[in-house]
């Protein structure tokens, strides 16, 4: 699926959803449309084939080369977002393009750290937790946070039915019971769009990992240097 948010500007951001769930891709596109500057346009895409959700190591292994291939096919963008709470395709993409590649884990952890020394991560399924811990270890963040799965699939999280919302709320309440927790990261693309509701309900900063990554890409897509004409 391809979702394009057009603007009159010249900056372009490619957002890659590594699963094939069109509902998640559409939700990410809405976020990009809402928060990007007017002079920046986005293309939100997902692989044509592959896992409908990234919920285990096997899903990750299947999705990663598909994600990298999408970046290879769109190698002329000003910034890239890997729209998953994992480092799927990040290293490979950074080797392919001469532009910032934003990792949703890095982006959201950076935001969470600004609120305090302790934070929590709410994710979907338990099988995702080991991969998240690996990413946190790489960032030197293992001792800073608690990771808890709500026990809902990525696709169910995106559908946001009443049963799913009840599980998310119950997990959120458990995390917020720790008074040292200064913020909560929603650690899944399937949870995109839930931050405002949960933040208002539990009176704590809640960070949408996809929104954090797109906001950072919006900033990083600006050229950090001045281009000079060659002397004649």
Phi and psi of 12, rounded to 5°?
Answer: -135, 135
Predicted confidence pLDDT, tens digits, the chain (232 residues): 666 666 556 899 999 999 999 999 999 999 999 999 999 999 999 999 999 999 888 999 999 999 999 999 999 999 999 999 999 999 999 999 999 999 999 999 999 999 999 999 999 999 999 999 999 999 999 999 999 999 999 999 998 899 999 999 999 999 999 989 999 999 999 999 999 999 999 999 999 999 999 999 999 998 765 454 545 4
Reported pTM = 0.90
- Under DSSP, the state recorded for 19 is S
- Measure the CA–CA gap between 174 and 107, rounded to whole angstroms: 24
Q: What is the DSSP string of 58-125?
A: HHHHHHHHHHHHHHHHTTT-SEEEE-SSS-TTHHHHHHH-SS-EEEHHHHHHHHHHTT-S-EEEEES-
Q: What is the DSSP string of 130-195?
A: HHHHHHHHHTT-GGGEEEEE-S--HHHHHHT-HHHHHHHHHHHHHHHTSTT---EEE-SGGGTT-H
* Helix or strand (DSSP H, E) at 53: none
Domains annotated for the chain, with CATH where assigned, are: 2-103+213-220 (3.40.50.12500), 105-209 (3.40.50.12500)
To which residue do tokens 């709470």 refer?
A: 85
Q: How distant is the alpha carbon of residue 115 from its chain centre? A: 19
């Amino acid at each position: 699926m391809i979702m394009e948010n057009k603007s009159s500007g010249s900056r372009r951001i490619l957002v890659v959803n590594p699963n094939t769930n069109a509902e998640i891709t559409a939700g990410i596109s809405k976020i990009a449309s809402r928060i990007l500057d007017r002079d920046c346009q986005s293309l939100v895409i997902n692989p044509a084939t592959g896992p409908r959700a990234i919920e285990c190591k096997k899903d990750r292994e299947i999705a990663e080369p598909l994600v990298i291939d999408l970046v290879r096919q769109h190698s002329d963008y000003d910034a890239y977002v890997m729209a998953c709470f994992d480092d799927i395709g990040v290293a490979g993409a950074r080797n392919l393009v001469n532009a910032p590649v934003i990792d949703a884990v890095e982006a959201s952890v950076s935001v969470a750290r600004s609120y305090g020394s302790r934070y929590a991560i709410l994710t979907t399924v338990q099988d995702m937790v080991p991969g998240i811990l690996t990413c946190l270890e790489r960032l030197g963040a293992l001792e800073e946070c608690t990771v808890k799965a709500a026990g809902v699939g990525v696709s169910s999280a995106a559908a946001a039915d009443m049963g799913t919302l009840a599980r998310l709320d119950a997990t959120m309440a458990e995390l917020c019971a720790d008074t040292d927790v200064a913020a909560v990261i929603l650690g899944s693309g399937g949870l995109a769009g839930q931050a405002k509701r949960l933040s208002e309900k539990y009176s704590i900063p809640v960070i949408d990992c996809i929104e954090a990554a797109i906001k950072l890409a919006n900033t990083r897509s600006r050229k950090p240097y001045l281009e000079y004409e060659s002397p004649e």
